[in-house]
Structure 1
Amino acid sequence: MIDPWWIKQLRQPLKHAAQLAVKLGVSANQVTVASFLIGMLAVPALALEQYYLALVAILLNRIGDGLDGAIARINGTTDAGGYLDISLDFIFYSAVPFGFLLADPVQNGVAAGLLMLTFMGTGATFLAFAAIAAKRGIDNPNYPNKSLHYLGGLTEGFETIAVFVVICVLPQFFVELAYGFALLCWVTALSRLYAGYRTLELPGSSAD
């Protein structure tokens, strides 16, 4: 929901960092893979209840996620790079609640499992629409530089990371926060499902 505004605020700082990275010969895909590997370090950190260490890994991952896109805009975006980026992003998002599950399976298990299921709902409705939107040439005005069509919602990247920050700072409230965010994510998933279906159902859209 806040992503379009947030992306605009970060565009210039990321552009300057990306220009330096390009001068050093760093590619967007290298940053994508490196930031993913750093982000996945949050899983063992969470399992060991090292929550602030996990938070550092999560934030570095998100910084890298912004930087790889900025580098790609300088060197030229590619379908392969976009595919790699979005695939690793969704794995990372589900890995964070899995880390909390490992930290305390008895207390956190159900809430973490529900959150991972919920991420599947938001991810499936997002990616399925993106694939068909690309096939039909549907415009993507809010995210013109993205490789995939971004179908928005109540909970997007900014909101997800904000929740990750809060649960790392206040891990004792993981269960309550996970249930609350899962509810909001289902609102997003269902609204995307409805909006995507109605968009593809418009006159002029070919039937599959």
Structure 2
Amino acid sequence: MLDTHARKYVQPVIGRTADLFLKWKLTANQVTAASFIIGVTAGLWIYFGMPWLAVAVLWLSGYLDAVDGSMARKTKSTAFGTVMDVTFDRLVEISVILGLAFLFPEVMWALLLLSVSIIFSMTVFLTVGAVSEQKGMKSFYYQAGLAERTEGFILFTIMILFPSILLYTTLLFLAVEVFTGVQRMLEAKRILGRAEGGGT
């Protein structure tokens, strides 16, 4: 939701960073890789008791992830760049969940359910994008939802910095992800059904 509605407020800063990186002759894929390398360490910092560092690298990774998209739009995006971007985003999230699960095994069951809910929501997101593209849309269809990446980062930050309420935050995150998955399913039925002439 925030990615969709609040992006316009931070896009000028993101755009200037993208211009700077392009001036330095960096490519969008290189920034994607850097974003991944930085972000995937978050789980390690969580496990080793450095929560503020974990949050810092998580948000830096997220910022670079936004910058690489702007770079791709300013140059020429590639299909493999999209694959890298989506895959690396999920691996960063997995890193955070694993770090929390190993540090707080008593809530591992809730973190496991959270992982399942993320898989559910992302499966709907990616499948709708794929079938929409087959129907002739110009680019990968982006489904907005209650939980987008910024909401996830906010909830991850609370989970990392306030472990005393980790269980409750995880369950909240779980509920938000399930809601988003269902929301996207219903939207997909409406959009794709309309494209097929009202079929199911």
TM-score when normalising by structure 2:
0.92
Q: How far apart are the structure 1 equivalents of 2:115 and 2:72?
A: 29
**1:70 counterpart = 2:70:** yes
User: Match of 1:120, as an amino acid?
Assistant: I
Q: CA deviation at 1:137?
A: 2.5
Query: 1:115, 1:178 within 8 Å by CA — same for their partners in 2?
Result: yes
Query: 2:32, 2:68 within 8 Å by CA — same for their partners in 1?
Result: yes
Equivalence for 2:99: 99
Query: 2:120, 2:181 within 8 Å by CA — same for their partners in 1?
Result: yes
For residues 16-63 of structure 1, the C-alpha deviation after alignment (integer angstroms, 9 at most, x for no partner) is: 111111111111100101110110101111112221111111011101
Query: 2:100, 2:160 within 8 Å by CA — same for their partners in 1?
Result: no
Q: How far apart are the structure 2 equivalents of 1:50 and 1:155?
A: 26
Q: CA deviation at 1:206?
A: 11
Structure 2 portions without partners, runs of 5+: none
Query: 1:6, 1:158 within 8 Å by CA — same for their partners in 2?
Result: no
Q: How far apart are the structure 2 equivalents of 1:29 and 1:19?
A: 15
**Higher mean Cα deviation, 95-104 or 33-42?**
95-104
Moved over 3 A (4+): 203-207
Aligned with residue 200 of structure 1, among 183, 187, 192: 192
* Aligned alpha-carbon RMSD (Å): 1.8
Q: How far apart are the structure 2 equivalents of 1:168 and 1:104?
A: 11
Relative to structure 1, the CA distance from residue 72 to residue 173 in structure 2 (aligned partners, 3 Å threshold; closer, same or farther) is same
Local SS of the residue matching 1:202: helix
Q: CA deviation at 1:110?
A: 0.8
Structure 1 portions without partners, runs of 5+: 140-146
Percent identity between matched residues is 26
Local SS of the residue matching 1:118: helix
Equivalence for 2:130: 131
Equivalence for 1:173: 165
Equivalence for 2:22: 22
Local SS of the residue matching 1:137: coil
Equivalence for 1:120: 119
Aligned residues: 199
Equivalence for 1:82: 82
TM-score when normalising by structure 1:
0.89
Q: How far apart are the structure 1 equivalents of 2:81 and 2:24?
A: 19
Q: CA deviation at 1:95?
A: 2.3
Q: CA deviation at 1:203?
A: 5.4
**1:164 counterpart = 2:121:** no
**1:111 counterpart = 2:110:** yes
Q: CA deviation at 1:89?
A: 0.9
Q: How far apart are the structure 1 equivalents of 2:195 and 2:3?
A: 30
Q: CA deviation at 1:90?
A: 1.8
Q: CA deviation at 1:7?
A: 1.5
User: Match of 2:128, as an amino acid?
Assistant: F
Q: How far apart are the structure 1 equivalents of 2:63 and 2:3?
A: 14
Aligned with residue 141 of structure 2, among 146, 149, 171: 149
Q: CA deviation at 1:178?
A: 0.4
Q: CA deviation at 1:73?
A: 1.7
Q: How far apart are the structure 2 equivalents of 1:48 and 1:204?
A: 52
